[in-house]
Amino acid sequence: MSKRTLIRGANCVLPNGIQQVDLLIEDDKILGVDPPVTAAVDETVDASGLHLLPGIIDDQVHFRDPGLEHKEDLHTGSLACAKGGVTTFLEMPNTNPTTTTNEALENKLERASQKSVVNYGFYIGATGENVDVLQQVTRTPGIKIFIGSSTGPLLVDEQEALERIFAETTLPICAHCEDEATVRANSERLGGGKNIHDHSKIRNHAAALIATKRAVDLSTRHKHPFHVLHVSTAQEVEFLRDRPSWVTAEACPHHLFFNIDDYDRLGSKVQMNPSIKTAEDNLALWKGLRDGIIEVVATDHAPHTLEEKDQPYPKSPSGLPAVENSLALMLDAAHRGECTLEQIVSWMCSAPARIWNIANKGAIQEGFDADLVLVDLKQKATIRDEEQLTKSGWSPWHGVELTGWAVRTWVMGQTVFQDGKVDGTHRGREAKYNRR
């Protein structure tokens, strides 16, 4: 017996604009946008006064499973997603073991099928030696290269190895762009770093720009689809204005909302790679988004325990949790007039679906998956460490009041978050990819 749900009266963010229309879901699919009023349904949801968005696709998270599950695991990470309106996540390969073989990839997919409340996909990580693996795997959105090292052992910065990856593979590539040689030289000059402020001097503007230029050069010459993860500087935004059409870029909430003036207040809680930069960089990233130079907003959700973060710099690890608050942070930005709801849907839903060729997601459209998030643009709530679902149990935005929150999330037609509670029993599905 199939189940039909009617979401009635919401302002739906559709591909052609915001319209107040009903939406009919049948099982895991959107059956009708503005269906005939006579349609028979099993459940009617009164959504008047609320806005309905496609579920958020976060194309950059670190859920630490397997190997680092004391920080997060696929279940807790996915609970945080459901609460935050994130219905699909794409997860990074710097777990233990790293996701650099087909076996490791299949193992993660299997774990996710047992643990994840929302839909999922996993990148395959590049090493200098696994081009054959990168050529063969299919159950992945694409290849992740750490052109600069971050958490974990993954690093490919030799030119010959990078040329081979861009020349001999076909999956889309994304990269962490911070120039290793620049970072090492800066670190040496600063004696390894004495306090948290040194983090942005070690991982400085030049390190980001050099590596982004290098990766875009590879992508340009090899005509290989390429996505610049977590752009952090005004200079990268300027450089990306002249990129080829197959290069895309991304910004993260911490680079939009934090800068070096926040170190005194938040210390290593805002220690990230790439590092947070200046207030001018915040503004340039916003402008890059509005100008269409940066297409995607994703979190780089990278949890560590507070105990780990509390170690003195440079022992403190880089990374912060964000997946359950990213949509609210952006809705609050819209409330303050920084952007529109349509832009948020473009940056967090349709663009990631397009860039990673994710089938049937990223838009409210007939025949697409019923991955949806209902938001209340007027709801005010304050982020509290003690209410976070991430296993790490904290947020760098603790104490911040935001206007605009997810009130209900559907994954493949099933309600996974409602009335402030996540249904942890639901299981999401593996994302499917359109391949030529």
Catalytic site positions: 300
Find out whether the peptide bond into 274 is cis, omega within 30 degrees of 0.
yes
Q: Which is nearer to ligand DOR, 318 or 415 (CB)?
A: 318
| Shortest CB 266 distance to ligand DOR, Å | 14
What does residue 8 show for φ and ψ, rounded to 5 degrees? -105, 130
| Shortest CB 145 distance to ligand DOR, Å | 12
Q: What residues pair up with 43 in beta bridges, in sequence order?
A: 5
Q: Which is nearer to ligand DOR, 109 or 155 (CB)?
A: 155
Amino acid letter for position 12: C
What is the C-alpha separation between 132 and 212, in angstroms, rounded?
Answer: 25
| Shortest CB 199 distance to ligand DOR, Å | 10
**C-beta separation of 182 from 207 below 8 A:** yes
Distances (CA, A) of 131 to 107, 136, 137: 20, 9, 10
- In the complex, which residues of this chain contact ligand DOR (CB under 6 A)? 62, 94, 150-151, 176, 272-273, 300, 302, 318-319
Q: Could you tell me which of 371, 352, 273, 324 has the C-alpha nearest to residue 53?
A: 371
| Shortest CB 321 distance to ligand DOR, Å | 10
3-state helix, strand, coil in the chain (%, to 5): 30, 25, 45
Q: Which is nearer to ligand DOR, 64 or 408 (CB)?
A: 64
Question: What's the burial of 299, exposed, middle or buried (CB within 10 Å: 0-12/13-18/19+)?
Answer: buried
In this structure, what token pair is assigned to residue 78? 């996915």
Pseudo-torsion of CA 129, 134, 140, 143, nearest 10°? Answer: 70
The string of DSSP codes covering 25-89 is EETTEEEEES--TT---SEEEE-TT-EEEEPEEEEEE---TTT-TTT--HHHHHHHHHHHTEEEE
Q: Which is nearer to ligand DOR, 5 or 271 (CB)?
A: 271
| Shortest CB 245 distance to ligand DOR, Å | 26
Whether the CA torsion 389, 390, 391, 396 is positive or negative: it is negative
| Shortest CB 254 distance to ligand DOR, Å | 9
Q: Which is nearer to ligand DOR, 171 or 174 (CB)?
A: 174
Spell out where 134-228 has E strands: 143-146, 173-176, 226-228
| Shortest CB 303 distance to ligand DOR, Å | 8
What is the C-alpha separation between 86 and 82, in angstroms, rounded?
Answer: 6
